[in-house]
Structure formats: structure tokens, C-alpha cells
Structure 1
Amino acid sequence: MSNIPADAFFDTLALAAAAVLVTLAITYAVAKKVHRHNVIDVTWGLLFCCVAIASFIVSAGEGDDTRRWLLLAMTLVWGSRLAWHMAMRSRGHGEDPRYAQLLEGRGELGVVMMVYGLQGVIALIVAMPLVVGSLTSEPMGVLAYVGVLVWLVGIVFETVGDRQMAAYKADPDRGPVMDSGLWRFTRHPNYFGDACVWVGIFLITAEHWPGVLTIPSTALMVYLLAFGSGKRVLERHMAERPGYRDYMARTSGFFPLPPRR
């Protein structure tokens, strides 16, 4: 590959895949012990941390150090924050109804492939901008710093949105639907924030060839968040709650917009 040493690229993939596999195996063991597979939600962000660390290690002496450190730090901040948030949110609860419905009637092999194997493969695909960006030797320019700003927007949306939802759930006098703060402008500020995070990381990588070729990875993440397993599955479950369909009618489904009358 032009501008990317092929041996370092494949070494990074091998190390990243091994780290992801070990992390998923540990997650599966924990899931069997606690009798719920939604522990994978905690691991999801950590899978990207594994790829970022592998990319950082292998790219030493190959990629631009500023970009290498930046991609590592951005991914660790995002992934560890998400993992901690999911761990706190699921603490003391049983299996997520969405997982129970998804896995109903599946054998053990089907569960492993659907929950753990699929998410491992998706994480490796989505994380390709980390691999390519870490190995890019050209210095950072304007587009990369635009990517940092987009990433910051994403982190703010995720963090503020999650805190607002936590405060809503802790309020004994709350209404039937959370529709204030960022949740007034988008039904999924956390998903929108996730999308911004990965668009920002892509922009940092896409500045130099062949980084732009990783656009399918980012497109896959945005698609899953906006139209796929993220938003679609959650809203199918939430639509049965009183007032939620009215909330859907007046509030943007993804990109933040003023509420409709």
C-alpha cells in the first residue's frame, strides 16, 4: 500500500485481532458467570482501545508521532468512558431485553457468533482508520485538526447526554419521556456523539493517502448508529412506552435539530 509499510500494516492487524479475541473470550467467560450477555456492551469500547494500543505499538518508528499519540489518546478517552458508563448503567440489572429477544432460540454457537464474533469483526472493520492513521508518516495538517474538533463535539454530546439521562432516571418526579437538554434536539445524543467521534478520527486519517480508503469503516459505524442495530433496535423497544411516539414525532431521530411543532 502506498505510503503505508505493508509488513507493519499486517502486523498491526494480527496483533489487534489477537487482542480483540482475548478480550472477547474474557467477556464471554464473565457473561457465563453472571448469566447475561449484555456485558458485551461494556467491552464494546474496550475493543477499540485494543486496536488503538496495537496500532500505537507497531507503528513506532513508522508513523507520525503526533498523529500516533493523538489517535491513541482519543480512542482511549472515548472507549474507556463508554465502558465505564455502560458498566455503571448495567450494574444491578439483569439481561437487556433486546439481547434476550435477539438470542431467543439460538444455541450456544449461535450466541457466540451473533454477540461476540459479530461485534469483534465489526470493531476491527470500524477501527481501520486507527490502523492506517497510526502508520501514516506525513505530518498533520488542517483537516486533521478539524477532525479533532469534530471528535470533541462527539465527546461532549455523549458525556452531557448520558449525564442528563442519568439525572432524569434518578428523578422520582420525572415525566414519562426524557425530552429536555440535548434530548430535546435529538432522540439519541449519545449515538450522534459516537458518530462524530468516528468521523473525527476518520478525518485525521483521511488527510493523507491511503487514509481516505477507510471511509467504508466510518460509514459502517454511522450506519449502525443511525439506521442499524443502535437506534432501530432501541426505538422498537421504546416505542411501547407512553408518550414516546409523540416524542418521536416532534424530535429529530439523529442529527440535532429544533423540535417540530
Structure 2
Amino acid sequence: MKKKKILFTVIVTAVSVLGIFVYSWRTGEVRLSSQDIGISAGQAILIDAHTGRVIYEKSADEKAYPASTTKIMTAMITIQTLEKYDSPIKQKVKVPPGAEGTEGSSIYLKTGEMISIEDLLYGLMLVSGNDSAEALAEIIGGSRENFVDMMNKKAKELGCSGTHFENPSGLFDEKHYTTARDMAVIAAEAMKNRRFRQIVSEDVWHAERENSDYLAFRNKNKTIRQFEGGNGIKIGYTENSGRTLVASAKRGDEEVICVVMSAPDWFNDAYSLMEYGFEML
């Protein structure tokens, strides 16, 4: 027994030095290293969506900037608040002044426009409307500041100690940050909600708007079209944060969630990780 234990230790040490495998003492698994999977991401994590078990990680606790993957939290807070107060998602609301002209990606909201919360959520998650994020923050939170407080409170409840939000959209701010591990926790929580899952898995959504020609929202998250079993959830990009992607896929009873951050080859990174995940489950 002693010889076998020594031999195993030598093997694990040797392959770790060679960069072939990484042994996780926490999970008791041998996993491929980032070099072997071939991902470009600076930070990454892959989890079993049902159990939260980590299948793979790379610098998962390193500070990173979430960009528009922030909107996962924005959508989750919105949906959970509606459900808490039994408020209809199809109700029409008036777009507040702070939403119009928001920097970055947009669904071109106009101040005073009447639009359903449902359409705002699809605009938020499919085409990454920053104006949708600002509108929802004011409508759901009563004020932008209060909504951001709700986001941070939820992050704390989930144990995401490496996360702090400054805005509902993900526009770059030095004080707006997360980690790959925290983002996986947030994503897993959001994906438990039936309404959220329905939204992020939609390919194209047709909004009902009276004074706008922008009605068809096509999901920018290509994983739902390109990866077998792809069912969500959000892409993100700013010049400062780089390319960030939270993706999920379900095959049979198995489901995985991956997060890649600071990832030049974001979609291929996600595909490699999720394929590996299904092989390991």
C-alpha cells in the first residue's frame, strides 16, 4: 500500500510538472490543464449545473471584469422581484429618462415609451441592451442605486465574496468586478428559474413596440445555435474587460455551465470546456 501511494504521488507530480494533468485535492479528480484543453481565457471555470461540482478551473478566483454578463444578475433580480410580488411580466411600463441614450449596445428606448417588462428582459439578455438594464433598474428598484444594492445583496447571499457591482449593465468600472467562480454561482442560481431559462434559450424574440422599428431581437449568444445542447446564457465585452462568456448546455439529464473571462477565443473556449465536461460527467 505504501509503495502504491508513493508511486501515485510521483505520477501526479510528474504529469503536473509536464503540464499534462492538474490534480485537485479538493475534488479528488485529475483534470486536463488549460494547456491541454487549449483555451485562451485568462480565467475560467466549468461546473456541473445540478450539483455545482467543479470539473475544471483556471485562475477562477482571480479578479476579472464581467462586462455584460452582469446582466445575468440584473435579469435574475428582476424576475425574482416580479415573482415575489406576483407582478405580471407582460405588464407595460413607462421608460424612465435615465434609460434613453445609454452608452453601448441598445434597443433604442425612448423616454416615455410604453413597453412590457418581458420585452425589456429579452432586449436585455438577447441583444444586451444597456438601456434595458437601466430601465429595469429604475422600474424594479425604484432607483438605479437601490437596484444595484439589491444586486450586491444577492451576490452576498450567494457567497460571492469576490464580486461587487456598480451598475446594472456591466459598463466598465474599476469597482465593478467578479471572479469566474462567482459568476458560475450566479449563473447556476439564475438557471434554476424557469422564466430565466426560457429567455436565455430563445433564438429570436419579436417585441411589441408601437413607435420603434427595432422589433426582432436575435440572441448574440451563438452557443444556442452552434453547440449541441446549448441553452444559454450571456456574452459580454468591453475594451477593458475583454471578451467574456457564460455558457450552458444540456444533454439528456446532464448539464454544464462554463465561464470564460478575458478570452479572445471565447466561443471556442466554451465549446472545448463544455465538451470536456460532458466527457467527464
Q: TM bucket by the smaller chain? A: under 0.3
TM-score, normalised with respect to structure 1: 0.25
Q: Is the strand fraction higher in 1 or 2?
A: 2
TM-score, normalised with respect to structure 2: 0.24
